[in-house]
Amino acid sequence: MSKETDYDVIVVGSGAGGMLAAIRAHDLGLRSVVIEKSPLFGGTSAISGGEFWIPGNELMAGGDSDEVVKDYLRQTSGGDIRPELLERYLHAGREMVHYLLSIGIQLEPHEGTPDYFSELPGGVGGRSLMVVPFDGAAALGDELFKMRPPSPIFSLLDRYAITANEGGTIALRLPGWRRTFLRLLASYWLNIPWRRKTRRDRRLTLGGALVGSLRKAMLDRAIPLRLNTELMELSVTDGTVTGAVFRHLGQELRLTARCGVVLATGGFEHNQSMREQHFPAPTRAEWSMAPGTNAGDGIRAAQAVGGAAELLDQANWWPVTLLPGATNNTLVTHFMFRNPHSLCVNRLGKRFVDENCSYDRFGRAMIADHAATGATIPSWIVFDADCRRNYLCGGLLPGRIEPDDRLPLEWWDTYVFRAETLAGLARKTAVNETTLLQSVERMNQHAAAGKDPDFGRGDHPYDRILGGGDPAVGPNPCLAPVVKPPFYAMRIFLGDLGTKGGLRTDADARVMSSRGVPIERLYAVGNTAASVFRNCYPGPGSTLGPAMTFAFVAATHIAQRKAQRGQQAAA
């Protein structure tokens, strides 16, 4: 077997979990390789916010308690969490963070970010970590151009790389926002040689900083990365996974894994048939924020060799609008911001949710209301001129930056609807006029009182800090009247950050067979595996946290098993 096709560990997928598994395996003395289907590395991780939720991590201010975390998760999930996985996640997560710091990856806590069920006991802030922004060109050179670029949601004007704090400061015009904005512009434009080369920002933040730092660690260790290489099937000998078959640029490629295969291929976000088979409500693949190459390859390959799957009806839901693309018949999925001077209604004109709750909770509310009414997927966000002027609205910049007369004419009454009266808006959008007027009037009463008795909008730290609250609005930063014409509306679709169900794994990240025993030398992490949190999304980074933790666990377990086999052979 040639050196180019024979490895100790094959990792399929180049997101944060996949790359970390390969790095950890290398540092434990194993020869690893990362395989990526796309021509770009980074997967969903690269276009994400880059946070990873690790309770009790060593950088967390104020400390944490496993019992507090467990109680919090029992409440958020209704008790549907496998204790052995949760126990491993809590302990190994802290070890994983310590390991990242030890190999030179600079982390910082995302201070002030509350957990997503902040109204519950144990729902505190500060459990999420991020990689410190850095110069990607200096660290990666031309390899930077092989990394998946950030989502427009996580960049300013689809050009300038920003952190979460910078974005919030500018969007809400908090003290110092002009200085922050000018600093970003200056750092971008003053590097004239780089500007002549590309419009891409060389500064890496959020998911780009996470993926870039891991790719740098791979380069430092000379860990190979094969792009444009699609998983076709796993190789099995006497019940043990021994490698995999890939297609690389139209040619078959067979790789051998002496110690293990780690599947980190993402979920089945862009497999429409799997979505229709498993999801509890109508959704479309194009509503997903995940890369289009995520089609369930790892899940299907493992199922073909006896792997069991679970929670396939679950996803990390994310309300989106569908922004017309630059070319015909293309759509760009864009997050739906929910700010003051707005409310969300189903097609009957009724509110159905605390508009400022976390994105996953919003999506679950859409599913529940659609099951009851059949009128919520899609639903509508209705907002007035004050909201349009001051805040991001779907893919629209605030009107003070991008006024109505600068929007493409073809967007009107297709992407964004406008009318001088609410009644006229109801007629344009086919929403029940009487009910919509009643909903807006009731919302305006709530705004005046500063209290939403129907859904508790603005009652919790998450709503006020991350959900779209504006500290300049009072008495409730999330509630402001919808009164100033013209009035606008956009459709909200049930999007997702990624599917949540996948292969059933044990506490060592080994894929379990349908008979309830581990498949020898086969591991799954990230969205390829069923979520440790089951049916809840407890805090910022609840996908990346487990993905990286169980990647660390998988690589460690593979190395331990190799050492055990060596000891047995020596005996």
Q: What is the mean pLDDT of residues 4-10?
A: 93
* pLDDT for residue 3 is more than 70: no
* pLDDT for residue 342 is more than 50: yes
- Residue corresponding to tokens 């790389």: 161
Question: Residue 473: what pLDDT?
Answer: 95
* pLDDT for residue 222 is more than 60: yes
Query: Cα(25)–Cα(20) distance, rounded to whole angstroms?
Result: 8
CATH of segment(s) 317-496: 3.90.700.10
Q: What is the pLDDT of residues 509-532, one digit of tens each?
A: 999 999 999 999 999 999 999 999
- Residue corresponding to tokens 């094969």: 226
Q: What is the 3-state secondary structure (H, E, C) of 423-450?
A: HHHHHHHCCCHHHHHHHHHHHHHHHHHC
**pTM of structure:** 0.94
* pLDDT for residue 2 is more than 70: no
pLDDT mean across residues, the chain: 93
Question: Residue 353: what pLDDT?
Answer: 98
* pLDDT for residue 326 is more than 60: no
* pLDDT for residue 1 is more than 60: no
Query: Cα(540)–Cα(400) distance, rounded to whole angstroms?
Result: 30
Query: Cα(318)–Cα(302) distance, rounded to whole angstroms?
Result: 27
Q: What is the 3-state secondary structure (H, E, C) of 309-355?
A: EECCCCEEEEEEEEEECCCCCCEEEEECCCCCCEEEECCCCCECCCC
Which band of pLDDT confidence, cut at 50, 70 and 90, is reported for residue 41? very high
Domain residue extents for the chain:
1-148+204-314+500-571, 317-496
- Residue corresponding to tokens 């508790």: 456
Residue 417 neighbours by CB under 8 Å, 6+ apart? 425, 428, 429, 488, 489, 490
Residue type, 47: I
The number of beta carbons lying within 10 Å of the beta carbon of residue 429 is: 20
Radius of gyration of the chain (CA): 24
Which band of pLDDT confidence, cut at 50, 70 and 90, is reported for residue 105? very high
Query: Cα(297)–Cα(43) distance, rounded to whole angstroms?
Result: 14
Which among 52, 38, 27, 4 has a CA at the least distance from the CA of 525? Answer: 52
- Residue corresponding to tokens 């200085």: 179
Q: What is the pLDDT of residues 419-462, one digit of tens each?
A: 999 999 999 999 999 999 999 999 999 999 999 999 999 999 99
CATH of segment(s) 1-148+204-314+500-571: 3.50.50.60
Highest mean pLDDT among 115-129, 149-163, 396-410, 480-494: 480-494
Q: What is the pLDDT of residues 56-103, one digit of tens each?
A: 999 998 778 999 999 999 999 877 889 999 999 999 999 999 999 999
Token pair for 26: 């290398």
Backbone angles phi, psi at 412, to 5 degrees: -70, 130
